[in-house]
Amino acid sequence: MGKGTTAAVIIGLVVLSMAVGGALGTIAAGNEASVSTSVSTVTQTTTTSSVNSSAPYILTMVITTNNLFNSSIGTQPAFFVSGPNGLESSANITLPAHRMIEIVIMNFDSGNATFIGPQYENVTGTINNTMSFYNNNAMNATQGPSGIILQGGQTVTSLSPETEYLSHTFTVPSLGLNIPIAADSTEVAYFTTGGAGSYTWLCESLCGSGANGSGGAMSTPGWMDGLLTVS
């Protein structure tokens, strides 16, 4: 919107505001009450969005549980990518090459699952091999309509099945990246991408269906695995 248009909008709003005020004044006069009229103007600021390539690229992933897989398996947990159109499939995740990535994982799964091996309890492939996790920060319906519990966070190098419920992992074996995900938590980690390439990402916990938990979501792209393309 050009300046000329903005000025026209402001004038239009002023005129409209005065007209409404006048109408109110007329009604008020009939009711023998006094109404003060005010004229308000609206100013508009135009923000130019610029991409700062030195800022981290933010990948926000959301894990939800109430996803109908099919009628025989029922619901399964799934990773989604949060994007401009809401929760999008995680089957194909694209990241920029040679860039610091801030990965935010919001896990709404309260379940406990067994990791395929104890090595997946360790954070690897991130800056300092750490991540920060924030528990009990979900909007909690038991705390009343406006209840939000924030109890701080912790930067860790691993999770332990003795102290945390372990839900999932976000693992890219070819990049040495492994982020264990605690139940009901939000986690943030940073890592840098190298050159272009396509890699499998997957969850290394037995969170799917079947006798050993490796079916359903665990073997389906867009649920607990997919392709990560760096380009």
The residues that touch Cu ion, with contacts defined as CB under 5 A, are 168, 203, 205, 207, 224
Give least dist CB 44 to Cu ion, A. Answer: 46
Q: Report the residue number, 17 or 158, with the smaller CB distance to Cu ion.
A: 158
Please provide the DSSP assignment of 150-185 as one string.
----EEESB--TTTS-EEEEEEEGGGTEEEEEETTE
Taking residue 118's Cβ as centre, other Cβ atoms within 10 Å add up to 10
Q: Report the residue number, 166 or 188, with the smaller CB distance to Cu ion.
A: 166
Give least dist CB 53 to Cu ion, A. Answer: 32
Q: Report the residue number, 188 or 217, with the smaller CB distance to Cu ion.
A: 217
Give least dist CB 101 to Cu ion, A. Answer: 20
Q: Report the residue number, 116 or 203, with the smaller CB distance to Cu ion.
A: 203
> What does the alpha-carbon distance between residue 136 and residue 89 come to, in Å, rounded to a whole number?
26
Give least dist CB 204 to Cu ion, A. Answer: 8
Q: Are 112 and 166 in contact (CB under 8 A)?
A: yes
Rounded to 5°, the CA angle 26-28-29 comes to 65
Residue type, 169: T
Q: Report the residue number, 99 or 133, with the smaller CB distance to Cu ion.
A: 133
Q: Report the residue number, 12 or 173, with the smaller CB distance to Cu ion.
A: 173
Closest to 120 measured CA to CA, from 65, 155, 166 = 166
Distances (CA, A) of 117 to 123, 161, 162: 13, 12, 15
Q: Is 86 helix (H, G, I), strand (E, B) or coil?
A: strand
Give least dist CB 217 to Cu ion, A. Answer: 7
Residue type, 153: G
